[in-house]
Amino acid sequence: MTRTALLVLVVPLLAACAEDQPIGKARIEEAADVRVGAFNFLERAGRPLSDKDMKGKVWVASLIFTRCTTTCIPMCGEMADLQEDFAEDPDFRIVAITVDPAYDTAEVLDKFGKSYDADPERWYFLTGKIEDIRKFAVEGLRLPWKAEDPITHSIDFAVVDRDGKIRDYFRQTRPEEMKRMRAVIRELLAGKAP
């Protein structure tokens, strides 16, 4: 296979998860209200998880799907590293929301989470109705979403504070932002505003 043919095959796969949208403070400044608001989804263990369960926690949210063969893999790897980095803090959580709920049932998400050694009490994999997920992603987390192609989703992490306020966004493909994200999480867990 030629190099050009390989690029033709790979580029659409990478585009399925990548979005070239503003990140960080610029996107927060665009939003009038940066609280994630109410949500209620099904966690991989089959139990409901809502915004009330996240009150008082510092959490990182992302959009993924289990059949992804491109950017979701490093995103989940990053979340696994976050789980390890903040293992000693009882108030830290990770939330991964599927954009493919027709396939990603609670059972599929459970198996997927186990493949990353995800602690079910700290790293949640959520599913629900596609319209509820889309609304939460766009209106709650303010992450980009292409309505005509739900599998195309943001590769950013949203960091949410103890009051449900989005504090910042970080692009998974930028190592300097992953380092800065950890600093922001530490400050929020310590009760400081970054």
How far apart are alpha carbons 86 and 81 in whole angstroms?
A: 9
Residue 194 lies in a domain: no
Which structure tokens are listed for 32? 């009038």
Domain extent at residue 171: 3-189
pLDDT at residue 8, rounded to an integer: 36
Residue 88 lies in a domain: yes
What is the domain-level CATH number for residue 58?
3.40.30.10
Whether 177 and 166 have beta carbons less than 8 Å apart is answered as no
Say how far residue 11 (Cα) sits from the centre of its chain: 22
Rg of the chain over Cα atoms, rounded to whole angstroms, equals: 16
pLDDT at residue 45, rounded to an integer: 87
Residue 151 lies in a domain: yes
- From first to last of its 194 residues, the chain has per-residue pLDDT tens of 443 333 333 333 334 444 444 444 445 555 445 789 899 999 998 899 999 999 999 999 999 999 988 888 889 999 999 999 999 999 999 999 999 999 999 999 999 999 999 999 999 999 999 999 999 998 999 988 776 676 777 889 999 999 999 999 998 888 899 999 999 999 999 987 66
pLDDT at residue 71, rounded to an integer: 82
pLDDT at residue 9, rounded to an integer: 37
Residue 121 lies in a domain: yes
Overall domain count for the chain? 1
pLDDT at residue 110, rounded to an integer: 96
pLDDT at residue 20, rounded to an integer: 47
Residue 157 lies in a domain: yes
Residue 162 lies in a domain: yes
Residue 19 lies in a domain: yes
Residue 10 lies in a domain: yes
